[in-house]
């Protein structure tokens, strides 16, 4: 199918045509591509995903807010998609749209039942205890490389903390944690049979954990879900915990990594690294506006023909939420001005399918604690390569570094 045909199918202007939301231009500078898309098409644009699959890209702040608020018109169940017949059998993005009965794809009262239980279970997490747990994890990881004077802070630090913290919140036995962390990472970061095998092991381990918690409940997330008056089944709890784990891993990992990068490369923060904590909090918030870990999210599906951002959207059309693009919308941030204390970014989504409260708060506890411990232990961190030499993962969904090499004065192991 040609680009013009795709554009016509989406109801877009065939003179401008859809933009490829993948490939070298996207990987080189996604922010520049988002700005160009907005210039060409406005706040809602026809795009092609990898495999030449058509979709709408919602890049206006107001339009993202509208789509995420109106769950009746823009629904989550992927079985509504009208383009399944054009999806290649080996489509690399299939894992994000293949329906499963987890909280991720539920709608209406069923979604509120499941998401409400998750929110209540997470709300009971003691944030002071979580911070203390993260301090212990951070210290253990730093101990592994503190004496060498060099490290890759992505592979050796940022990528390892969020999953360990999430597994700890689930009350898993210490002996089982390494295997779960390893397999969760493989299921999310690898592909093909390796990913599928790892996911199968994770699902089995989670099912066993839930069964154990039913027999021996504790002060942990699975036990609270089992006891919740939403009357969740074990299968529902397993599926929803896997969603929570996945959501806790990469976004928080890249939030940590992107913030450390900002602190090490931006002169506004360099002068305050050794004094107080304000700079860390400011940097965390700025990253959510400038380099938010979750760049885009797939997606929503129109339940009927409608108009959005000047475009004609048909029932069953896929809408990709351009969270990073919305955060840089000049109507919200004229001149791309600094975010300062403004926390109204779209980085955690919005509406009933946004990141459930208080998950963003817990993610911030993990990220802030990880960074503060690192700066306390290794205050003279220095990048070993120029800032412009750092590379980003080629992902349409996530914005994260492939590596963050640093040097520092070797220090003692605690």
The reported pLDDT for the residue numbered 338 is 56
The reported pLDDT for the residue numbered 58 is 98
Nearest to 409 by CA among 370, 382, 373, 385: 382
Q: Strand ranges (DSSP E) for 12-133?
A: 19-20, 44-49, 53-58, 74-75
Cα distances (Å, whole numbers) of residue 182 to 146, 163, 185, 202, 303: 23, 9, 5, 9, 39
The one-character DSSP state at 71 is T
DSSP β-bridge partners for residue 150: 407
Token representation of residue 311 = 């475009």
DSSP β-bridge partners for residue 47: 19, 55
Distance, in Å, from the CA atom of 396 to the CA atom of 198, rounded to the nearest integer, reads 23
DSSP β-bridge partners for residue 308: 311
DSSP β-bridge partners for residue 321: 58, 297
As a whole-number percent, the residues of the chain with pLDDT over 90 amount to 72
Q: Name residue, tokens 């493989």.
A: 186
Identify which has the larger pLDDT, 246 or 278.
246
Average pLDDT over residues 238-250: 90
The reported pLDDT for the residue numbered 187 is 72
pLDDT reading at 289 higher than 60: yes
* Per-residue pLDDT band at 4 (split at 50, 70, 90): very low
Q: Name residue, tokens 């045909």.
A: 5
8 A C-beta contact, residue 181 and residue 163: yes
The reported pLDDT for the residue numbered 93 is 86
The reported pLDDT for the residue numbered 117 is 98
Alpha helix ranges (H) inside 91-233: 108-123, 127-145, 161-169, 177-189, 192-215, 221-227
The one-character DSSP state at 157 is I
Average pLDDT over residues 219-233: 97
The reported pLDDT for the residue numbered 277 is 53
Preceding amide of 358 cis, omega within 30: yes
Mean pLDDT of the residues in the chain: 90
Distance, in Å, from the CA atom of 118 to the CA atom of 39, rounded to the nearest integer, reads 40
8 A C-beta contact, residue 254 and residue 401: yes
Pairing between strand 19-20 and 44-49?
parallel
Kind and range of the H or E element at 5? helix 3-10
CA angle 313, 43, 243 (to 5 degrees): 75
Nearest to 307 by CA among 103, 74, 14: 74
pLDDT reading at 85 higher than 60: yes
The one-character DSSP state at 129 is H
CATH topology of domain 107-275+350-414: Cytochrome p450 (1.10.630)
pLDDT reading at 341 higher than 70: no
Average pLDDT over residues 72-84: 96
CATH topology of domain 1-101+295-346: 3.30.43
Q: Which of 141-150, 320-329, 336-345 has the lowest mean pLDDT?
A: 336-345
Considering the chain, tell me which residue range(s) the CATH 1.10.630.10 domain(s) occupy.
107-275+350-414
The reported pLDDT for the residue numbered 9 is 46
pLDDT reading at 272 higher than 70: no
Cα distances (Å, whole numbers) of residue 224 to 132, 218, 369, 393, 414: 21, 8, 25, 36, 35
pLDDT reading at 66 higher than 70: yes
What residues contact 142, with CB distance under 8 A and at least 6 apart?
A: 157, 373, 374, 377, 378
Identify which has the larger pLDDT, 387 or 93.
387
Considering the chain, tell me which residue range(s) the CATH 3.30.43.20 domain(s) occupy.
1-101+295-346
389-392's contacts with Cβ under 8 Å and 24+ in sequence apart are: 390/261, 392/27
Distance, in Å, from the CA atom of 256 to the CA atom of 162, rounded to the nearest integer, reads 9
Q: Which of 89-93, 130-134, 205-209, 309-313 has the lowest mean pLDDT?
A: 89-93
Nearest to 249 by CA among 145, 152, 169: 169
Highest mean pLDDT among 104-113, 239-248, 348-357: 104-113
Distance, in Å, from the CA atom of 302 to the CA atom of 413, rounded to the nearest integer, reads 55
The one-character DSSP state at 132 is H
* Per-residue pLDDT band at 337 (split at 50, 70, 90): low
8 A C-beta contact, residue 224 and residue 237: no
pTM value is: 0.91
The reported pLDDT for the residue numbered 8 is 42
Phi/psi of residue 345, each to 5°? -70, 165
The reported pLDDT for the residue numbered 174 is 75
Token representation of residue 349 = 């989504």
């Amino acid at each position: 199918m040609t680009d013009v045909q795709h554009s016509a199918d989406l109801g877009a202007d065939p003179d401008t045509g859809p933009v490829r939301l993948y490939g070298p231009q996207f990987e080189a500078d996604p922010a520049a591509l988002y700005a160009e898309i907005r210039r060409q098409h406005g706040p809602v644009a026809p795009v092609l995903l990898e495999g030449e699959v058509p979709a709408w890209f919602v890049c206006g702040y107001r339009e993202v807010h509208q789509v995420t608020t109106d769950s009746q018109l823009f629904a989550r169940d992927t079985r509504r998609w009208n383009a399944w017949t054009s999806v290649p059998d080996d489509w690399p993005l299939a894992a994000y749209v293949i329906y499963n009965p987890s909280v991720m794809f539920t709608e209406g009262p069923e979604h509120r039942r499941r998401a409400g239980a998750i929110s209540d279970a997470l709300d009971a997490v003691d944030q002071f205890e979580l911070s203390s747990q993260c301090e212990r994890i951070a210290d253990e990881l730093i101990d592994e490389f503190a004496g060498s004077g060099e490290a890759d802070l992505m592979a050796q630090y940022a990528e390892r903390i969020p999953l360990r913290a999430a597994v700890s919140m689930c009350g898993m036995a210490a002996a089982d944690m390494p295997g779960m962390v390893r397999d969760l990472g493989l299921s999310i970061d690898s592909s093909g049979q390796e990913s599928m095998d790892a996911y199968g092991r994770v699902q089995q381990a989670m099912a066993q954990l839930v069964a154990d918690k039913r027999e021996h409940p504790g002060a942990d997330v699975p036990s609270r879900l089992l006891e919740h008056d939403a009357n969740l089944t074990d299968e529902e709890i397993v599926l929803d915990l896997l969603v929570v784990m996945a959501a806790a891993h990469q976004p928080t990992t890249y939030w940590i990594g992107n913030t450390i990068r900002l602190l090490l490369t931006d002169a506004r923060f360099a002068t305050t690294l050794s004094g107080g904590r304000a700079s860390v909090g400011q940097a965390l918030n700025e990253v959510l506006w400038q380099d938010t870990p979750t760049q885009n999210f797939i997606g929503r599906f129109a339940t009927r023909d409608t108009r959005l951002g000047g475009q004609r959207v048909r029932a069953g059309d896929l809408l990709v939420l351009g969270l990073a693009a919305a955060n840089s919308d000049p109507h919200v941030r004229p001149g791309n001005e600094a975010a300062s204390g403004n926390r109204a970014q779209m980085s955690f989504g919005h509406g009933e399918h946004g990141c459930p409260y208080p998950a963003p708060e817990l993610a911030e506890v993990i990220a802030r604690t990880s960074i503060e411990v690192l700066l306390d232990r290794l205050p003279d961190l220095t990048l070993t390569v120029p800032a412009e030499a750092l590379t980003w993962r080629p992902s349409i969904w996530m914005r994260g570094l492939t590596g963050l090499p640093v040097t520092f004065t070797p220090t003692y192991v605690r």
